[in-house]
Amino acid sequence: MKYRPLGQSGLYVSEYVLGSLTFAGTNGFEALGSVDVAQARRMVDAALDAGVNAVDTANLYSKGDAESVVGRAIADRRDDLLLFSKAASPMTDGPNGAGASRAHLSRQIDDSLRRLGTDHLDLYFIHRWDGVTPVEETVQTMGGLVKSGKIRYWGISNYSGWQVAKTVMLARQMHLPPPVAHQVYYTPAAREAEYEIIPAGEELGVATVVWSPLGQGLLTGRVDRHTPPPADTRQGDDHWPEPYVADRDTLWNVIDALKRVAAARDVSVAQVTLAWLRGQPPVHSIVLGARNEAQLGDNLDSARLELSSGELETIESAGRPPAIYPYWHRAMWALDRPTPAEREYLQRHRLTMGLKRTDEQ
């Protein structure tokens, strides 16, 4: 297991993080999994044995029940791991039951700490952008939580590129700690984060942590253009809406590529997917959300899988996002002075446009 410094912080985090979206399975999260305390303990032990040093959760997951399971599962291992959680999603009825306001976050951090059985979180994410609360208020609140000792660092999740930039720059202007990481949805078939979000984080020292790297079950090998999702999976549950797939043809092409590589290497499709993500330079850590110990073990084994440049290219080209404006224009005319964080993406857009990479001319 490799460890990397988390953004502009002194915190080292393993390349895989144990997720808990599948824990509890109550309050509308039944389709995702039902990992109980005993099973969660075994999964925590397996993750730690593999070198994982962090567990990720959120107050939203099973409306607090997942945090309770995590707290009980790590009760005797708290000093061995880093603990992450999130807030901002609706937790109670009424207009103030969600968001990134001081009032909401102050209550939610205390509730999360109580459920998790700890006096602090190592990393606390704003789970989604709040377009009503002034960013200055959110930044002040998170800075206050750092100063109080309730959290060590903070992050953001599901933000657009300009929202990442606004948050970081305001925090710097206010002389308060900025977010050190952002969690994004990013898979070989869902690459929208490459346009603005990941480059913004790279430029501003915000580490990219990937959530749902297997496309919420789409990239496990059980689904393809000829095989619908099994009924016992979240994709086979009509009540679970995520993820939105903008281009089904691209999804099927990526799955075909993943399956070819997996068959040639005699490994699972999930392992190839995770190995591809690890091979993307901006990716710091990947959150693994397994439904059982067998899935977790298979995911963890992928840490030893290194794909060749040809295999990485086979998968990358199958899922490459279209060269939309202004990226086609920058790929055509601005590669004499590219921003380092976007250079490789612009080179790939040139290939989509039928042009040669400038670094190969």
Q: Please list the active-site residues.
A: 61
The residue with tokens 């290219």 is: 313
Listing DSSP states for 210-269 in one string gives: EESTTGGGTTSSS-BTTBPPPTTSGGG-TT--PPP-S-HHHHHHHHHHHHHHHHHHTS-H
User: In the chain, what are the helix, strand and coil shares in percent, each to the nearest 5?
Assistant: 45, 15, 40
Residue burial 182-208, b: 16+ Cβ < 10 Å; e: rest:
bbbbbbbbbbebbbbbbbbbbbbebbb
Task: Compute the half-sphere exposure of residue 264: CA atoms within 13 Å on the CB side of its CA.
Answer: 12
Backbone angles phi, psi at 35, to 5 degrees: -70, 120
Neighbours of 307 (CB within 10 A): 18
Give, in degrees to the nearest 5, the angle at Cα 184 between 264 and 73. Answer: 85
Label residues 256-282 b or e (16+ Cβ within 10 Å = b).
ebbebbbeeeebbbbbbbbbbbbbbeb
